Structure 1
């Protein structure tokens, strides 16, 4: 173990204690320790102490140079020893680089968790006593690019995903000095081992058949096999893309969205009975009972004009909304709607509201990707299997 002998400048330390705050005292003490540590490292490198003569000497001392070093306590100035041939390099900066890395990681985590760039710069200034520019924080976030890109392009052929959930949300992005709306496509899945996983994302100009097809083709290029069921809302372009890209896959219309569409068309007054019967349909245990309860409702209320629009929606989308009933009872509550994906979208929206307008498409992809990675790690990975 390295033994250090400190020749402390007691007058300097005394002045720091008597006339400065505790932060200055801590900084002064750290400077003294690190300077002494580097001096000892140079002695070890030269294989000779100061003013000592030896035939085994490796090199000669060549003074010092000042180097500023930012740590979590703030910026300090160290006297770095040099050698004549210039090959000596102290390990202090390598060892304590972890402080810098921790600071950078903390800054990135603040951005991912929805802290604005302005607030990040203020927090870092309070912690380190050093001001940083917003452009510096922005440049740091670009360190996420290779990480997010690697995650977004990871292979999907290592397991089978029988149930796929897809949805799109919209964010504002600056493009050619204009603020435009961009669609962010997100796909999650339930694995054959009954765990959840976020498969990927994409940013496109608008939500239509072509953009959904491109997103599905991207997932397939990474090895995604056709699932048993794709759960989504009733966007027509999305439905068409599912039929085209996943041969043999069944489409499950989101149960929650479907019931909401029906209820919106019911009159607010004198509709309590039909509302109860609609609820009864989707609480049935068997697919036979689901169809039976639906037929009873249509028979009882089908001739009443005030229910015509609601019943038309029920009849048109009924079969697509009960496909989850063809799967085991224990998984039905997890695959009948896109609620899990809606909760994920809320996490993204909470952070996106702080930014409000992304400076470009890549920044939107970067932040949303980082949020998805974090959600996968902190939420989905902690759950061994699905729970109700």
Structure 2
């Protein structure tokens, strides 16, 4: 019986499967039987789709020779083993005499109906797994043998794409460019080491945000940022109106050396962090509450008044507010 939300196609399929289960005495509790049914269903669907692709390729359906307008024709089938989450299954791939048929539902060298295998390998590689680990993982999880050379060939595919993205031309002027580094741990030659990823994010004059570049270095330094800034200039950036950076020593000087007219704005978060260095832990919460009123002020006049009040309250213990900001 069809359910209320079933489409006509789903209702027909539900009735067909119900009859199939009854006629073949399938034990629903037995996972082996269910897996076998799923494999049979997938193979039928895939083979049907492949036959339709061949009809489209040749321009006529099987035995419909009156509508044949090509000198190419069908040439039987070849069998292929596909790996699925329900186990391996055999499907018949149609062939043509000229060898021009390129199926899309199951591509020529594809041997799995799970998610794209190359994407899985690249994802594991990006997360720091070695080619040996990837090979073992694919064998244990999918029972698929993939050599180190094949994995290296797949991962090497992304290198030209990354290089092209890193060297693409940029806008001449950016309203704001945010520059910071993210520190993370990565496996390198069998050891876990710390690396810094330098990230430059720009907002162009139309208000659109774009990642200008991402670069991996040993650790964050003004010298490395200088090389990145020169790289941005070589890619077409002529001026940056505002550069938002942290308090890294030498960073403002590196920016001024490449873009002398750029206004440098230190990140508020880093300014607040610098403030807390001078404050005892027990007074940290009340001081931060007062400082928040300065940064959250709706206008410059109110902010200056709050800053004056903050200075009067706390300068007796920690000196002038200039020591904080």
Q: CA deviation at 1:115?
A: 11
Q: Look up the SS of the partner of 1:227 in the other structure.
A: strand
Among candidates 35, 47, 59, match of residue 23 of structure 1: 35
Provide the C-alpha distance between the structure 2 equivalents of 1:59 and 1:194, rounded to a whole number of angstroms.
Answer: 55
- Post-superposition shift, 1:225? 3.5
User: Matches of 1:40 and 1:268 in 2, distance apart?
Assistant: 71
CA 61–183 in structure 1, closer or farther in 2 if over 3 Å, else same = closer
Instruction: Please give the alpha-carbon distance, in whole angstroms, between the structure 2 residues aligned to 1:40 and 1:213.
Output: 55
CA distance 1:294–1:60, change in 2 (3 Å): closer
Q: Deviations over 1:232-268 (max 9, x none)?
A: 1100132221121221111111112212221331234
Structure 1-normalised TM-score? 0.55
Please name the residue that 2:258 is paired with: 245
Query: Is 1:163–1:227's contact at 8 Å kept on the other side of the alignment?
Result: yes
Contact 1:111 1:120 in 2 (8 A): no
Q: Which residue of 2 aligns with 1:157?
A: 171
1:184 paired residue number: 197
Moved more, 192-201 or 286-295: 286-295
1:185, distance to aligned residue in structure 2 (A): 0.1
Measure how far apart 1:169 and its partner are: 1.8
- The higher relative CO (CA closer than 8 Å, separation ≥ 6) is in 1
> Once structures 1 and 2 are overlaid, which stretch shifts more, 108-117 or 278-287?
108-117
- Alpha-carbon offset, residue 283 of structure 1: 3.3
Q: Which runs of 5+ in 1 are unaligned?
A: 1-12, 319-388
Give distance in 2, aligned partners of 1:180 and 1:61.
57
Q: Is the 8 A contact 2:246 2:267 kept in 1?
A: yes
The number of residues matched between the two structures is 287
Partners of 1:61 and 1:195 in 2: how far apart?
Answer: 53
Alignment partner, residue 254 of structure 1: 267
Deviation at 1:187, TM superposition (A): 1.2
* Secondary structure of residue in 1 paired with 2:250: helix
Cα shift readout 1:297-322 (whole Å, capped 9, x = no counterpart): 445544x3x414xx4xx41574xxxx
Match of 1:94 among 91, 94, 104: 104
Name the CA distance, whole Å, in 2 between partners of 1:286 and 1:36: 65
* CA apart distance, 1:87: 2.7
Determine which of 240, 251, 254 is the counterpart of 1:227. Answer: 240
Question: Is the aligned partner of 1:307 residue 2:318?
Answer: yes
For residue 174 of structure 2, give the secondary structure of its aligned residue in structure 1. Answer: coil
Partner residue in 1 for 2:292? 279
Alignment of 1:346-385 (within 5 A): none
Tell me, yes or no, if the aligned pair for 2:245 and 2:265 is still in contact at 8 Å. Answer: yes
Q: Which residue is 1:366 aligned to?
A: none
1:170 aligns to 2:180 (yes or no)? no
Cα distance, 1:68 vs structure 2: 3.1
TM-align CA RMSD: 5.0
State the 1:67 CA deviation.
3.5
- In terms of fraction of residues, the more strand-rich structure is 2
Match of 2:159 among 145, 152, 177: 145
**Number of the residue aligned with 2:9:** none
Identify if the C-alpha distance between structure 1 residues 201 and 101 changes in structure 2 by more than 3 Å, giving closer, same or farther: farther
Alpha carbons 1:35, 1:79 under 8 Å: kept:
no
